[in-house]
Structure 1
Amino acid sequence: MKIPAFFIAHGSPLLAIEDNDYTGFLERLGRELPRPRGIAVFSAHWDSPKQAVTVDERHETLYDFYGFPEEMYRLVYPAPGDAGLNRRIGDLFSAGNLSHQPVRGRGIDHGVWVILKRMFPDADIPVVALSVDSLRSPAEQYAIGRMLSPLREEGVLVIGSGGLVHNLRMLESGGEPAEWAVAFDGWIAEKLEAWDLEALFAYDKQAPHIRDAVPSYGKEHFVPLFYAMGAADDGRRAQRIFQAYQYGTLSLNCWKFE
Protein backbone atom coordinates (compact mmCIF):
# COMPACT_ATOMS: atom_id res chain seq x y z
CA MET A 1 0.00 0.00 0.00
CA LYS A 2 1.32 3.42 -0.97
CA ILE A 3 1.45 5.63 2.13
CA PRO A 4 0.31 9.25 1.70
CA ALA A 5 2.75 12.09 2.24
CA PHE A 6 1.77 14.79 4.73
CA PHE A 7 2.38 18.39 5.61
CA ILE A 8 1.91 18.63 9.37
CA ALA A 9 2.03 21.84 11.39
CA HIS A 10 4.09 21.30 14.52
CA GLY A 11 2.83 24.45 16.26
CA SER A 12 4.19 25.22 19.71
CA PRO A 13 6.46 22.65 21.41
CA LEU A 14 3.76 22.50 24.10
CA LEU A 15 1.78 20.24 21.77
CA ALA A 16 3.92 17.47 23.25
CA ILE A 17 2.09 17.79 26.59
CA GLU A 18 -1.18 19.58 25.77
CA ASP A 19 -4.54 17.90 25.42
CA ASN A 20 -6.60 19.61 22.71
CA ASP A 21 -8.36 18.92 19.42
CA TYR A 22 -5.12 18.97 17.45
CA THR A 23 -3.18 16.61 19.69
CA GLY A 24 -6.17 14.25 19.65
CA PHE A 25 -6.21 14.44 15.86
CA LEU A 26 -2.50 13.59 15.62
CA GLU A 27 -2.97 10.60 17.91
CA ARG A 28 -5.87 9.30 15.80
CA LEU A 29 -3.91 9.86 12.60
CA GLY A 30 -1.06 7.74 13.91
CA ARG A 31 -3.44 4.94 14.81
CA GLU A 32 -5.32 5.05 11.50
CA LEU A 33 -2.33 5.06 9.16
CA PRO A 34 -0.80 1.81 7.96
CA ARG A 35 2.19 1.25 10.21
CA PRO A 36 5.17 2.64 8.29
CA ARG A 37 8.46 0.79 8.17
CA GLY A 38 10.22 4.15 8.43
CA ILE A 39 9.54 7.88 8.65
CA ALA A 40 11.37 10.64 6.76
CA VAL A 41 10.72 14.16 8.06
CA PHE A 42 11.73 17.44 6.40
CA SER A 43 11.89 19.81 9.38
CA ALA A 44 11.52 23.60 9.37
CA HIS A 45 13.95 23.69 12.27
CA TRP A 46 16.82 22.39 10.18
CA ASP A 47 17.50 25.01 7.52
CA SER A 48 20.67 24.22 5.59
CA PRO A 49 22.06 25.21 2.18
CA LYS A 50 23.20 21.62 1.67
CA GLN A 51 20.73 18.77 1.95
CA ALA A 52 21.45 17.05 5.26
CA VAL A 53 20.33 13.59 6.39
CA THR A 54 20.60 12.10 9.89
CA VAL A 55 22.43 8.78 10.08
CA ASP A 56 22.28 7.98 13.81
CA GLU A 57 21.53 4.48 15.05
CA ARG A 58 19.44 6.00 17.85
CA HIS A 59 18.36 9.65 18.01
CA GLU A 60 18.92 12.03 20.88
CA THR A 61 16.08 14.44 21.68
CA LEU A 62 17.01 18.03 20.84
CA TYR A 63 15.45 20.75 23.02
CA ASP A 64 15.72 23.60 20.52
CA PHE A 65 13.50 25.99 22.51
CA TYR A 66 13.70 27.90 25.77
CA GLY A 67 11.43 29.29 28.46
CA PHE A 68 9.07 26.32 28.56
CA PRO A 69 7.91 24.27 31.58
CA GLU A 70 10.56 22.01 33.06
CA GLU A 71 8.43 19.01 32.09
CA MET A 72 9.26 19.71 28.44
CA TYR A 73 12.96 19.15 29.04
CA ARG A 74 12.35 15.73 30.56
CA LEU A 75 10.54 14.39 27.50
CA VAL A 76 12.47 12.05 25.26
CA TYR A 77 11.80 10.48 21.89
CA PRO A 78 14.59 7.92 21.40
CA ALA A 79 13.55 6.78 17.94
CA PRO A 80 15.95 4.46 16.12
CA GLY A 81 17.57 5.27 12.81
CA ASP A 82 17.79 2.90 9.87
CA ALA A 83 21.01 2.41 7.93
CA GLY A 84 19.16 0.82 5.03
CA LEU A 85 16.73 3.73 4.76
CA ASN A 86 19.66 6.14 4.96
CA ARG A 87 21.30 4.40 2.01
CA ARG A 88 18.05 4.37 0.04
CA ILE A 89 17.50 8.10 0.58
CA GLY A 90 21.11 8.79 -0.37
CA ASP A 91 20.73 6.74 -3.54
CA LEU A 92 17.55 8.62 -4.50
CA PHE A 93 19.22 11.97 -3.92
CA SER A 94 22.25 10.87 -5.93
CA ALA A 95 20.00 9.71 -8.77
CA GLY A 96 18.49 13.20 -8.74
CA ASN A 97 21.98 14.74 -8.82
CA LEU A 98 21.42 16.33 -5.38
CA SER A 99 24.49 16.80 -3.23
CA HIS A 100 23.73 15.65 0.30
CA GLN A 101 25.52 15.32 3.61
CA PRO A 102 25.14 12.61 6.28
CA VAL A 103 24.96 14.09 9.78
CA ARG A 104 25.60 12.17 12.97
CA GLY A 105 24.95 13.31 16.55
CA ARG A 106 22.70 16.30 15.89
CA GLY A 107 19.59 14.81 17.49
CA ILE A 108 16.03 15.32 16.24
CA ASP A 109 14.55 18.79 16.74
CA HIS A 110 11.08 19.56 18.03
CA GLY A 111 9.76 19.93 14.48
CA VAL A 112 10.29 16.18 14.26
CA TRP A 113 9.77 14.69 17.70
CA VAL A 114 6.79 16.73 18.93
CA ILE A 115 4.47 15.51 16.16
CA LEU A 116 5.87 11.98 16.18
CA LYS A 117 5.48 11.71 19.94
CA ARG A 118 1.75 12.29 19.48
CA MET A 119 1.40 10.06 16.41
CA PHE A 120 3.70 7.18 17.36
CA PRO A 121 4.35 7.51 21.10
CA ASP A 122 6.34 4.29 21.45
CA ALA A 123 9.24 5.73 19.40
CA ASP A 124 9.77 2.32 17.83
CA ILE A 125 9.62 3.26 14.13
CA PRO A 126 12.90 4.24 12.44
CA VAL A 127 13.20 7.97 11.74
CA VAL A 128 15.37 9.90 9.32
CA ALA A 129 15.38 13.67 9.72
CA LEU A 130 16.02 15.84 6.67
CA SER A 131 16.93 19.49 6.36
CA VAL A 132 15.16 22.07 4.23
CA ASP A 133 16.69 24.99 2.36
CA SER A 134 14.49 28.07 2.62
CA LEU A 135 16.61 29.91 0.04
CA ARG A 136 15.90 27.45 -2.75
CA SER A 137 13.03 28.16 -5.12
CA PRO A 138 9.73 26.37 -4.47
CA ALA A 139 10.27 24.41 -7.70
CA GLU A 140 13.61 23.13 -6.39
CA GLN A 141 12.12 22.24 -3.01
CA TYR A 142 9.31 20.37 -4.74
CA ALA A 143 11.82 18.52 -6.93
CA ILE A 144 13.77 17.35 -3.86
CA GLY A 145 10.59 15.96 -2.34
CA ARG A 146 9.78 14.27 -5.63
CA MET A 147 13.09 12.40 -5.48
CA LEU A 148 11.74 10.57 -2.43
CA SER A 149 8.36 9.68 -3.92
CA PRO A 150 9.38 6.00 -4.47
CA LEU A 151 9.65 5.64 -0.70
CA ARG A 152 5.87 5.85 -0.36
CA GLU A 153 5.51 2.52 -2.18
CA GLU A 154 8.17 1.05 0.11
CA GLY A 155 6.24 1.68 3.33
CA VAL A 156 7.94 4.95 4.28
CA LEU A 157 5.96 7.90 5.61
CA VAL A 158 7.23 11.23 4.21
CA ILE A 159 6.35 14.34 6.25
CA GLY A 160 7.00 18.04 5.83
CA SER A 161 6.87 19.62 9.30
CA GLY A 162 6.38 23.38 9.60
CA GLY A 163 3.56 25.92 9.69
CA LEU A 164 1.73 27.68 6.87
CA VAL A 165 0.96 30.76 8.97
CA HIS A 166 3.86 31.16 11.37
CA ASN A 167 4.65 34.69 12.52
CA LEU A 168 5.56 34.73 16.20
CA ARG A 169 5.54 38.54 16.22
CA MET A 170 1.81 38.60 15.44
CA LEU A 171 0.42 36.12 17.95
CA GLU A 172 -2.82 37.25 19.60
CA SER A 173 -4.44 36.45 22.92
CA GLY A 174 -8.02 36.37 21.60
CA GLY A 175 -9.84 33.15 20.93
CA GLU A 176 -10.95 33.80 17.35
CA PRO A 177 -8.51 33.33 14.46
CA ALA A 178 -7.35 36.49 12.71
CA GLU A 179 -9.18 37.14 9.45
CA TRP A 180 -5.97 37.64 7.51
CA ALA A 181 -4.60 34.27 8.65
CA VAL A 182 -7.81 32.51 7.62
CA ALA A 183 -7.73 34.28 4.25
CA PHE A 184 -4.16 33.18 3.61
CA ASP A 185 -4.87 29.57 4.56
CA GLY A 186 -7.96 29.70 2.34
CA TRP A 187 -5.94 30.83 -0.67
CA ILE A 188 -3.39 28.08 -0.06
CA ALA A 189 -6.18 25.50 0.28
CA GLU A 190 -7.75 26.54 -3.03
CA LYS A 191 -4.44 26.22 -4.87
CA LEU A 192 -3.49 22.95 -3.19
CA GLU A 193 -6.81 21.29 -3.99
CA ALA A 194 -6.32 22.29 -7.63
CA TRP A 195 -2.61 21.30 -7.46
CA ASP A 196 -1.92 24.69 -9.04
CA LEU A 197 1.86 24.65 -8.99
CA GLU A 198 2.17 27.83 -11.03
CA ALA A 199 0.27 29.81 -8.40
CA LEU A 200 1.83 28.04 -5.42
CA PHE A 201 5.37 28.51 -6.70
CA ALA A 202 4.55 32.24 -6.92
CA TYR A 203 2.88 32.35 -3.47
CA ASP A 204 5.17 35.15 -2.32
CA LYS A 205 3.75 37.39 -5.06
CA GLN A 206 0.15 36.16 -5.28
CA ALA A 207 -1.07 35.01 -1.88
CA PRO A 208 -3.02 37.50 0.25
CA HIS A 209 -1.40 38.83 3.45
CA ILE A 210 1.86 37.15 2.49
CA ARG A 211 4.09 39.47 4.55
CA ASP A 212 2.14 38.65 7.69
CA ALA A 213 1.65 34.93 7.06
CA VAL A 214 5.15 34.12 5.78
CA PRO A 215 7.52 36.86 6.97
CA SER A 216 10.90 37.09 5.32
CA TYR A 217 12.57 35.77 8.47
CA GLY A 218 10.22 32.76 8.70
CA LYS A 219 10.07 31.14 5.26
CA GLU A 220 11.60 27.95 6.62
CA HIS A 221 8.27 27.07 8.25
CA PHE A 222 6.32 27.36 5.00
CA VAL A 223 8.64 25.54 2.61
CA PRO A 224 8.24 21.99 4.03
CA LEU A 225 4.91 22.13 2.22
CA PHE A 226 6.69 21.89 -1.14
CA TYR A 227 8.90 19.00 -0.05
CA ALA A 228 5.83 17.04 1.08
CA MET A 229 3.90 17.88 -2.10
CA GLY A 230 6.78 16.74 -4.27
CA ALA A 231 6.73 13.32 -2.62
CA ALA A 232 3.17 12.91 -4.00
CA ASP A 233 3.80 14.30 -7.48
CA ASP A 234 2.70 11.02 -9.04
CA GLY A 235 -0.84 11.41 -7.65
CA ARG A 236 -1.30 15.15 -7.16
CA ARG A 237 -4.29 14.89 -4.83
CA ALA A 238 -4.45 17.15 -1.79
CA GLN A 239 -6.88 17.00 1.13
CA ARG A 240 -6.91 19.22 4.19
CA ILE A 241 -7.77 16.93 7.08
CA PHE A 242 -7.36 19.36 9.98
CA GLN A 243 -7.41 23.13 10.47
CA ALA A 244 -7.34 25.17 13.65
CA TYR A 245 -5.44 28.12 15.15
CA GLN A 246 -3.53 28.83 18.32
CA TYR A 247 -2.98 32.35 19.63
CA GLY A 248 -5.16 33.77 16.86
CA THR A 249 -2.64 33.37 14.05
CA LEU A 250 -0.57 30.22 14.56
CA SER A 251 -2.03 27.87 11.96
CA LEU A 252 -2.40 24.23 12.94
CA ASN A 253 -3.17 22.33 9.78
CA CYS A 254 -2.56 18.95 8.27
CA TRP A 255 -2.60 18.24 4.55
CA LYS A 256 -2.63 14.75 3.07
CA PHE A 257 -1.08 14.23 -0.36
CA GLU A 258 -1.73 11.11 -2.43
Structure 2
Amino acid sequence: MTLPALFVAHGSPALAVEDNAYTSFLGELGTKLPRPRGIVVFSAHWDSPDQRLTVDESHETLHDFYGFPEEVYRVNYPAKGDAALSDEIARLFSEHNLPYQPILGRGLDHGAWVVLKHMYPDADIPVILLSVDSRRSPEEQYEIGRMLAALRDQDILVVGSGGLVHNLRLLSRENEPLEWAEQFDQWIEEQLQSWNLKNLFNYAKKAPHALEAVPSYAAEHFIPFFYALGTADRERQAKKLYQEYQLGSLSLNCWAFGGSEIHHTV
Protein backbone atom coordinates (compact mmCIF):
# COMPACT_ATOMS: atom_id res chain seq x y z
CA MET A 1 0.00 0.00 0.00
CA THR A 2 1.23 3.48 -0.90
CA LEU A 3 -0.38 6.41 0.85
CA PRO A 4 -1.07 9.59 -1.11
CA ALA A 5 0.70 12.76 -0.09
CA LEU A 6 -1.56 15.66 0.85
CA PHE A 7 -1.52 19.40 0.46
CA VAL A 8 -3.91 20.78 3.07
CA ALA A 9 -4.90 24.36 3.77
CA HIS A 10 -4.72 25.04 7.50
CA GLY A 11 -6.68 28.29 7.38
CA SER A 12 -7.00 30.43 10.48
CA PRO A 13 -5.92 29.08 13.91
CA ALA A 14 -9.58 29.41 14.91
CA LEU A 15 -10.27 26.48 12.59
CA ALA A 16 -9.07 24.28 15.45
CA VAL A 17 -12.25 24.97 17.43
CA GLU A 18 -14.70 25.48 14.58
CA ASP A 19 -17.37 23.06 13.40
CA ASN A 20 -18.03 23.67 9.72
CA ALA A 21 -17.96 21.96 6.34
CA TYR A 22 -14.18 22.06 6.10
CA THR A 23 -13.51 20.67 9.57
CA SER A 24 -16.07 17.94 8.88
CA PHE A 25 -14.22 17.10 5.67
CA LEU A 26 -10.90 16.87 7.52
CA GLY A 27 -12.44 14.56 10.10
CA GLU A 28 -13.85 12.30 7.40
CA LEU A 29 -10.55 12.33 5.53
CA GLY A 30 -8.76 10.98 8.59
CA THR A 31 -11.14 8.02 8.69
CA LYS A 32 -11.12 7.31 4.93
CA LEU A 33 -7.36 7.19 4.49
CA PRO A 34 -5.58 4.00 5.53
CA ARG A 35 -4.28 4.67 9.01
CA PRO A 36 -0.64 5.84 8.79
CA ARG A 37 1.99 4.69 11.25
CA GLY A 38 3.55 8.15 11.17
CA ILE A 39 2.91 11.64 9.80
CA VAL A 40 5.49 13.98 8.28
CA VAL A 41 4.41 17.62 7.96
CA PHE A 42 6.08 20.35 5.91
CA SER A 43 4.70 23.42 7.68
CA ALA A 44 4.38 26.93 6.25
CA HIS A 45 5.13 28.23 9.74
CA TRP A 46 8.65 26.85 9.89
CA ASP A 47 10.58 28.75 7.23
CA SER A 48 14.31 28.17 7.47
CA PRO A 49 17.27 28.42 5.05
CA ASP A 50 18.53 25.13 6.53
CA GLN A 51 16.47 21.96 6.21
CA ARG A 52 15.33 21.10 9.72
CA LEU A 53 13.44 18.20 11.27
CA THR A 54 12.17 17.52 14.76
CA VAL A 55 13.66 14.69 16.82
CA ASP A 56 11.49 15.03 19.93
CA GLU A 57 10.00 12.16 21.89
CA SER A 58 6.90 14.31 22.42
CA HIS A 59 5.77 17.70 21.13
CA GLU A 60 4.66 20.87 22.87
CA THR A 61 1.65 22.57 21.25
CA LEU A 62 2.79 26.00 20.02
CA HIS A 63 0.21 28.80 20.03
CA ASP A 64 2.21 30.88 17.58
CA PHE A 65 -0.40 33.59 16.89
CA TYR A 66 -2.24 36.37 18.68
CA GLY A 67 -5.67 38.00 18.78
CA PHE A 68 -7.81 34.85 18.72
CA PRO A 69 -10.49 33.64 21.16
CA GLU A 70 -9.19 32.24 24.42
CA GLU A 71 -10.47 28.75 23.66
CA VAL A 72 -8.00 28.47 20.77
CA TYR A 73 -5.11 28.94 23.21
CA ARG A 74 -6.42 26.09 25.33
CA VAL A 75 -6.14 23.57 22.50
CA ASN A 76 -3.50 20.93 23.15
CA TYR A 77 -2.31 18.36 20.63
CA PRO A 78 0.12 16.10 22.53
CA ALA A 79 1.48 14.08 19.61
CA LYS A 80 4.57 11.96 20.09
CA GLY A 81 7.64 11.90 17.89
CA ASP A 82 9.27 8.84 16.40
CA ALA A 83 13.05 8.47 16.65
CA ALA A 84 13.20 5.76 13.98
CA LEU A 85 11.21 7.89 11.52
CA SER A 86 13.37 10.94 12.21
CA ASP A 87 16.44 8.78 11.56
CA GLU A 88 14.98 7.48 8.30
CA ILE A 89 14.26 11.01 7.07
CA ALA A 90 17.79 12.05 8.02
CA ARG A 91 19.16 9.04 6.12
CA LEU A 92 17.20 9.98 2.99
CA PHE A 93 18.40 13.58 3.17
CA SER A 94 22.00 12.41 3.59
CA GLU A 95 21.64 9.95 0.73
CA HIS A 96 20.67 12.85 -1.52
CA ASN A 97 23.40 15.16 -0.15
CA LEU A 98 20.95 17.57 1.47
CA PRO A 99 22.37 19.17 4.63
CA TYR A 100 19.91 19.11 7.52
CA GLN A 101 19.68 19.98 11.20
CA PRO A 102 17.92 17.81 13.80
CA ILE A 103 15.99 20.10 16.15
CA LEU A 104 14.98 19.25 19.70
CA GLY A 105 12.27 21.08 21.64
CA ARG A 106 10.67 23.16 18.90
CA GLY A 107 7.07 21.99 19.32
CA LEU A 108 4.28 21.69 16.75
CA ASP A 109 3.15 25.00 15.23
CA HIS A 110 -0.45 25.63 14.27
CA GLY A 111 0.27 24.79 10.64
CA ALA A 112 0.52 21.19 11.81
CA TRP A 113 -1.84 20.77 14.75
CA VAL A 114 -4.83 22.76 13.46
CA VAL A 115 -5.18 20.24 10.62
CA LEU A 116 -4.18 17.12 12.55
CA LYS A 117 -6.56 17.88 15.41
CA HIS A 118 -9.47 17.30 13.04
CA MET A 119 -7.96 14.44 11.04
CA TYR A 120 -6.58 12.48 14.01
CA PRO A 121 -8.14 14.01 17.14
CA ASP A 122 -6.64 11.46 19.55
CA ALA A 123 -3.09 12.62 18.72
CA ASP A 124 -2.07 8.96 18.76
CA ILE A 125 0.02 8.91 15.57
CA PRO A 126 3.67 10.05 15.75
CA VAL A 127 4.43 13.33 13.99
CA ILE A 128 7.68 14.65 12.53
CA LEU A 129 7.74 18.33 11.57
CA LEU A 130 9.89 19.53 8.68
CA SER A 131 10.83 23.08 7.75
CA VAL A 132 10.35 24.71 4.36
CA ASP A 133 12.59 27.25 2.68
CA SER A 134 10.90 30.12 0.84
CA ARG A 135 14.28 31.16 -0.57
CA ARG A 136 14.62 27.98 -2.60
CA SER A 137 13.23 27.68 -6.10
CA PRO A 138 10.07 25.61 -6.65
CA GLU A 139 12.26 23.04 -8.44
CA GLU A 140 14.41 22.64 -5.33
CA GLN A 141 11.38 22.40 -3.06
CA TYR A 142 9.90 19.73 -5.31
CA GLU A 143 13.19 17.82 -5.30
CA ILE A 144 13.33 17.78 -1.49
CA GLY A 145 9.86 16.29 -1.46
CA ARG A 146 10.95 13.70 -4.02
CA MET A 147 13.72 12.60 -1.65
CA LEU A 148 11.04 11.39 0.76
CA ALA A 149 8.87 9.50 -1.73
CA ALA A 150 9.90 6.14 -0.29
CA LEU A 151 8.25 7.01 3.03
CA ARG A 152 4.85 6.76 1.41
CA ASP A 153 5.50 3.06 0.73
CA GLN A 154 6.10 2.58 4.46
CA ASP A 155 2.65 3.75 5.68
CA ILE A 156 3.88 7.29 6.27
CA LEU A 157 1.55 10.18 5.45
CA VAL A 158 3.39 13.21 4.04
CA VAL A 159 1.50 16.49 4.39
CA GLY A 160 2.24 19.96 3.07
CA SER A 161 0.32 22.45 5.21
CA GLY A 162 -0.27 25.98 3.98
CA GLY A 163 -2.66 27.64 1.54
CA LEU A 164 -2.69 28.07 -2.24
CA VAL A 165 -4.37 31.48 -2.01
CA HIS A 166 -3.41 33.31 1.15
CA ASN A 167 -3.78 37.09 1.05
CA LEU A 168 -4.66 38.67 4.39
CA ARG A 169 -4.57 42.20 2.95
CA LEU A 170 -7.33 41.66 0.39
CA LEU A 171 -9.94 39.98 2.59
CA SER A 172 -13.61 40.59 1.87
CA ARG A 173 -16.62 40.23 4.15
CA GLU A 174 -17.99 37.36 2.14
CA ASN A 175 -16.88 33.73 1.92
CA GLU A 176 -17.49 33.65 -1.82
CA PRO A 177 -14.18 33.64 -3.69
CA LEU A 178 -12.89 36.83 -5.18
CA GLU A 179 -12.65 36.37 -8.94
CA TRP A 180 -8.85 36.57 -9.06
CA ALA A 181 -8.50 33.98 -6.27
CA GLU A 182 -10.75 31.55 -8.08
CA GLN A 183 -8.88 32.05 -11.35
CA PHE A 184 -5.55 31.29 -9.68
CA ASP A 185 -6.86 28.09 -8.10
CA GLN A 186 -8.38 27.02 -11.42
CA TRP A 187 -5.03 27.55 -13.15
CA ILE A 188 -3.28 25.39 -10.55
CA GLU A 189 -5.89 22.67 -11.12
CA GLU A 190 -5.37 22.79 -14.89
CA GLN A 191 -1.61 22.36 -14.52
CA LEU A 192 -2.03 19.47 -12.11
CA GLN A 193 -4.29 17.62 -14.52
CA SER A 194 -1.31 17.20 -16.86
CA TRP A 195 1.38 17.47 -14.15
CA ASN A 196 2.81 20.44 -16.02
CA LEU A 197 5.86 21.10 -13.88
CA LYS A 198 7.28 23.68 -16.27
CA ASN A 199 4.27 25.91 -15.76
CA LEU A 200 3.91 25.16 -12.06
CA PHE A 201 7.55 25.98 -11.36
CA ASN A 202 7.04 29.27 -13.21
CA TYR A 203 3.68 30.06 -11.60
CA ALA A 204 4.88 33.55 -10.56
CA LYS A 205 5.07 34.57 -14.22
CA LYS A 206 2.49 32.28 -15.82
CA ALA A 207 -0.40 31.99 -13.36
CA PRO A 208 -3.15 34.61 -13.45
CA HIS A 209 -3.08 36.91 -10.42
CA ALA A 210 -0.05 35.19 -8.90
CA LEU A 211 1.00 38.33 -7.05
CA GLU A 212 -2.36 38.59 -5.34
CA ALA A 213 -2.68 34.87 -4.61
CA VAL A 214 0.90 34.41 -3.39
CA PRO A 215 2.02 37.80 -2.04
CA SER A 216 5.68 38.02 -1.10
CA TYR A 217 4.90 38.46 2.60
CA ALA A 218 3.02 35.14 2.67
CA ALA A 219 4.85 33.05 0.07
CA GLU A 220 5.71 30.43 2.69
CA HIS A 221 2.05 29.36 2.69
CA PHE A 222 2.20 28.32 -0.94
CA ILE A 223 5.50 26.43 -1.01
CA PRO A 224 4.50 23.36 1.06
CA PHE A 225 2.51 22.53 -2.08
CA PHE A 226 5.76 21.82 -3.98
CA TYR A 227 7.23 19.69 -1.19
CA ALA A 228 4.12 17.50 -1.08
CA LEU A 229 3.89 17.39 -4.87
CA GLY A 230 7.46 16.17 -5.20
CA THR A 231 6.80 13.06 -3.14
CA ALA A 232 4.47 11.83 -5.93
CA ASP A 233 6.83 12.42 -8.85
CA ARG A 234 6.82 8.78 -9.93
CA GLU A 235 2.99 8.57 -10.20
CA ARG A 236 2.23 12.13 -11.26
CA GLN A 237 -1.42 11.89 -10.29
CA ALA A 238 -3.41 14.58 -8.53
CA LYS A 239 -6.93 14.61 -7.15
CA LYS A 240 -8.75 17.61 -5.69
CA LEU A 241 -10.54 16.53 -2.52
CA TYR A 242 -11.95 19.84 -1.27
CA GLN A 243 -12.31 23.49 -2.28
CA GLU A 244 -13.83 26.39 -0.36
CA TYR A 245 -12.97 30.00 0.43
CA GLN A 246 -12.91 32.10 3.58
CA LEU A 247 -13.25 35.86 3.39
CA GLY A 248 -12.76 35.82 -0.35
CA SER A 249 -8.98 35.56 -0.50
CA LEU A 250 -8.17 32.51 1.64
CA SER A 251 -8.62 29.21 -0.15
CA LEU A 252 -9.39 26.15 1.94
CA ASN A 253 -8.34 23.33 -0.33
CA CYS A 254 -7.02 19.82 -0.11
CA TRP A 255 -5.17 17.93 -2.82
CA ALA A 256 -4.03 14.30 -2.83
CA PHE A 257 -0.97 13.35 -4.87
CA GLY A 258 -0.20 9.79 -5.98
CA GLY A 259 -0.95 6.76 -3.87
CA SER A 260 -2.62 3.43 -4.57
CA GLU A 261 -5.59 4.60 -2.51
CA ILE A 262 -6.13 7.91 -4.28
CA HIS A 263 -9.02 6.91 -6.53
CA HIS A 264 -11.12 4.53 -4.47
CA THR A 265 -10.41 5.24 -0.80
CA VAL A 266 -10.29 9.02 -0.54
- Which residue does 1:77 correspond to in 2? 77
Deviation at 1:201, TM superposition (A): 0.3
Q: Give the letter aligned to residue 49 of structure 2.
A: P
**Residue 165 in structure 1 maps to residue 186 in structure 2:** no
- Mapped to 1, the partners of 2:60 and 2:175 lie a distance apart of 36
What is the root-mean-square deviation in Å for CA atoms of aligned residues?
A: 0.6
- Contact 2:174 / 2:246 at 8 angstroms: preserved in 1? no
Q: Give the letter aligned to residue 149 of structure 1.
A: A
Q: Which runs of 4 or more aligned residues in structure 1 lie more than 4 Å from their structure 2 counterparts after TM superposition?
A: none
- Which residue does 1:106 correspond to in 2? 106
Deviation at 1:193, TM superposition (A): 1.5
- Mapped to 2, the partners of 1:187 and 1:52 lie a distance apart of 31
Gaps of 5+ in 1: none
**Tell me, what secondary structure is at the counterpart of 2:78?**
coil
**Tell me, what secondary structure is at the counterpart of 2:169?**
helix
Q: Give the letter aligned to residue 248 of structure 1.
A: G
Tell me the alpha carbon deviations over residues 196-216 of structure 1, each in whole angstroms, 9 at most, x when there is no partner: 000000000100011110011
> How many residues of Structure 1 are paired with residues of Structure 2 in the alignment?
258
**Residue 68 in structure 1 maps to residue 93 in structure 2:** no
Q: Give the letter aligned to residue 97 of structure 1.
A: N
Superposed, which structure 2 residues align to 1:54-203 within 5 Å? 54-203=54-203
Deviation at 1:194, TM superposition (A): 1.1
**Tell me, what secondary structure is at the counterpart of 2:49?**
coil
Deviation at 1:248, TM superposition (A): 1.1
201-210 or 173-182, larger mean C-alpha shift: 173-182
- Which residue does 2:262 correspond to in 1? none
- Mapped to 2, the partners of 1:122 and 1:252 lie a distance apart of 23
Deviation at 1:175, TM superposition (A): 3.5
Superposed, which structure 2 residues align to 1:24-35 within 5 Å? 24-35=24-35
- Mapped to 2, the partners of 1:174 and 1:52 lie a distance apart of 38
Tell me the alpha carbon deviations over residues 126-146 of structure 1, each in whole angstroms, 9 at most, x when there is no partner: 000000001100000000000
- Contact 2:42 / 2:130 at 8 angstroms: preserved in 1? yes
**Residue 218 in structure 1 maps to residue 239 in structure 2:** no
- Mapped to 2, the partners of 1:176 and 1:154 lie a distance apart of 40
Gaps of 5+ in 2: 259-266
- Mapped to 2, the partners of 1:143 and 1:122 lie a distance apart of 32
Q: Give the letter aligned to residue 163 of structure 2.
A: G
Tell me the alpha carbon deviations over residues 93-128 of structure 1, each in whole angstroms, 9 at most, x when there is no partner: 001110000111110000000000000000010000
Q: Give the letter aligned to residue 179 of structure 2.
A: E
- Mapped to 2, the partners of 1:19 and 1:124 lie a distance apart of 22
Tell me the alpha carbon deviations over residues 5-37 of structure 1, each in whole angstroms, 9 at most, x when there is no partner: 000000111111111110000000001111100
Tell me the alpha carbon deviations over residues 80-100 of structure 1, each in whole angstroms, 9 at most, x when there is no partner: 000000000000000111000
- Mapped to 2, the partners of 1:121 and 1:251 lie a distance apart of 23
Tell me the alpha carbon deviations over residues 199-241 of structure 1, each in whole angstroms, 9 at most, x when there is no partner: 0000001000111100111110000000000011111100111
- Mapped to 2, the partners of 1:121 and 1:65 lie a distance apart of 21
Q: Give the letter aligned to residue 127 of structure 1.
A: V
